[in-house]
Amino acid sequence: MAHLLVTGGAGFIGSNFVHHVLEHTDHHVTVLDKLTYAGNRASLDGLAEDRFTFVQGDICDAGLVDELFSAADAVVHYAAESHNDNSLHDPRPFLDTNIIGTYTLLEAARRHGTRLHHISTDEVYGDLELDDPARFTEDTPYNPSSPYSSTKAGSDLLVRAWVRSFGVRATISNCSNNYGPFQHVEKFIPRQITNVIRGIRPKLYGTGENVRDWIHADDHSSAVLTILERGEIGQTYLIGADGEKDNKTVVELILSLMGQPADAYDHVTDRAGHDLRYAIDSTRLRTELGWQPRYRDFEAGLSATIDWYRDNESWWAPTKDGVEAFYTSKGQ
Domains and CATH numbers, the chain: 3-178+215-239 (3.40.50.720)
Q: Give me the residues paired with residue 239 across strands.
A: 175
pLDDT band at 1 (very low <50, low <70, confident <90, very high): low
- Active site includes 58? no
CB atoms within 10 A of CB 233: 12
226 closest CA partner among 296, 173, 153: 173
Q: Please indicate whether residue 113 or residue 324 has the higher confidence score (pLDDT).
A: 113
Q: Catalytic site residue 122?
A: yes
Q: Exactly one of 33, 122, 186, 213 is catalytic; which is it?
A: 122
Say whether pLDDT at 161 is over 80: yes
DSSP 294: S
User: Is the pLDDT reported for residue 83 higher than 80?
Assistant: no
Closest CA to 21 of 40, 39, 42, 48: 48
Output the pLDDT for position 193.
Answer: 98
* Marked catalytic residue, from 103, 125, 148, 309: 148
Q: Which among 11, 300, 54, 17 is positioned nearest to 173, based on CA atoms?
A: 17
pLDDT tens, position by position, 201-213: 999 999 999 999 9
Spatial contact of 231 and 118, defined as CB atoms under 8 Å apart: no
Whole-number average pLDDT of the chain: 95
pLDDT digits (tens, 9 = 90+) for 218-233: 999 999 999 999 999 9
Do the Cβ atoms of 76 and 228 come closer than 8 Å? yes
Instruction: Provide the strand spans (E) within 82-192.
Output: 115-121, 170-175, 177-179
d(CA 88, CA 38): 17
| Annotation says 85 is catalytic | no
pTM score, whole prediction: 0.95
Rounded Cα distance, 102 and 8, in Å: 12
Instruction: Output 23-28 pairs: Cβ under 8 A, ≥24 positions apart.
Output: 24/222, 24/225, 25/225, 26/2, 27/1, 27/2, 27/3, 27/51, 28/2, 28/3, 28/4, 28/52, 28/53
CA geometry: angle 195, 198, 202, nearest 5 deg: 25
User: Quick one: pLDDT at residue 270?
Assistant: 80
Contact yes or no for 60/107 (Cβ under 8 A): no
Query: DSSP characters for 178-202?
Result: EESTT--TTSHHHHHHHHHHHTPPP
